Amino acid sequence: MDTPRIYGAGLGLRRELMLPLRAAGASAIDFFEISPENWIDIGGQWARELRWFTERFPFVAHGLSLSLGGPSPLEEGFLRRIRAFLDTHRIALYTEHLAYCSDGAHLYDLLPIPFTQEAVHYVAARIRRTQNVLERRIAVENASYYVQAPISEMDELSFLKAVLEEADCDLHLDVNNVYVNGVNHGYDPRAFVLGLPADRIVYLHVAGHDRDGPDLIIDTHGQAVVYPVWDLLETAYEAFGVFPTLLERDFNMPSLDDLLAEVARIAELQKARCWRQRKRAACGGAAT
């Protein structure tokens, strides 16, 4: 399958942005992301609008409802529909949350998986099956969570690394989620990022959040990205190199100009990292 290469700085494609983006030309955006659940059964004008974009831009698909950690069996019929959707729109990369969102019915929230060895085996097997059905590697995203599961045998970083290794899948790193969890659960977000396996990272998210108190952040994707999250993104680039990075904005939508300014900031950080890498290499230093 001939799929466009994903690179640079991207934006989540929402329907209210489609006409303004077409009018603006979208030249500042390197790729877009969509959730298949919002588009699989859509026809008519909206389907034609989506096709206009997927014929001109690379895309990533970010799932919302697969429930990799859930107790119910994987919905393999749904996975086959996703595979057909990905093939139709030439989308190579599919990512999902390392969480669960169903138990007999969809719960409309992303809930944390217990950090146990049993859960590692369970989730890894479901990821491997997902990859087999989709006929492509997937990337799992570190999810934000607000209450820890009552039974845990390891910390979040150890759990994430164990799942990636046993499932032999890739990592979709959300630096905002790392920051949110660090504040809410009292760990160092920078140390978390630096502890990740570089060889698994293929894709990044950056987003805003709402602060409900000094020790409570809600991952809403409804505000501008804050300075500590930008700093964490820069830390990831310095440690691992530049990866395709998407700005998530789902609520409280600002003007297109404001969104494009944040996408441009991602691109600026990427260019600065690449310039520093080239300079170190030219001076005989180590380059990552």
Which tokens hold the place of 40?
């699989």
What tens digit of pLDDT does each residue of 219-228 get? 887 789 999 9
Structure confidence at residue 284 (pLDDT):
38
CATH code (residue 246): 3.20.20.150
DSSP H helical segments within the chain, as ranges? 15-24, 44-54, 76-88, 117-134, 156-167, 175-185, 189-194, 227-240, 256-282
- Model pLDDT, residue 31: 97
Q: How confident is the model at residue 245, as a pLDDT?
A: 98
Task: State yes or no: pLDDT of 268 exceeds 70.
Answer: yes
pLDDT tens per residue, range 125-181: 999 999 999 999 999 999 998 877 767 889 999 999 999 999 999 999 999 999 999
pTM: 0.92
Confidence of residue 276 (pLDDT cuts 50, 70, 90): confident
pLDDT at 209 over 60: yes
- Per the structure, the count of domains in the chain is 1
Longest CA span, the chain: 59
Lowest mean pLDDT among 24-28, 46-50, 221-225, 250-254: 24-28
- C-alpha angle with apex 236: 230 to 240, nearest 5 degrees? 155
Average pLDDT over residues 199-222: 88
Q: Is residue 1 part of a domain?
A: no
On whether residue 4 sits in a domain, the answer given is no
The answer to the question of residue 288 being in a domain is no
Q: Are 3 and 90 in contact (CB under 8 A)?
A: yes
The torsion angles phi and psi of 252, rounded to 5 degrees, stand at 50, 55
Domain that holds residue 59: 9-282
Residue 184 in any domain: the answer is yes
- Which pLDDT does position 282 carry in this prediction? 45
Let me know if residue 287 belongs to a domain: no
In a domain, 271, yes or no: yes
Distance CA 119, CA 112 (A): 11
Residue 140 covered by a domain: yes
DSSP strand pairing (201-207 vs 31-34)? unpaired
The pLDDT, as a whole number, for residue 112 is 81
**Which range, of 13-17, 220-224, 242-246, averages the lowest pLDDT?**
220-224
Q: Is residue 242 part of a domain?
A: yes
Q: What is the pLDDT of residue 145?
A: 87
91-102: b or e for each residue (b if 16 or more CB lie within 10 Å)?
Answer: bbbbbbbbbbbb
Q: What percent of the chain has pLDDT over 90?
A: 72
Span 34-62, average pLDDT: 95
In terms of Cα–Cα distance, which of 1, 62, 59 is closest to 30?
A: 59
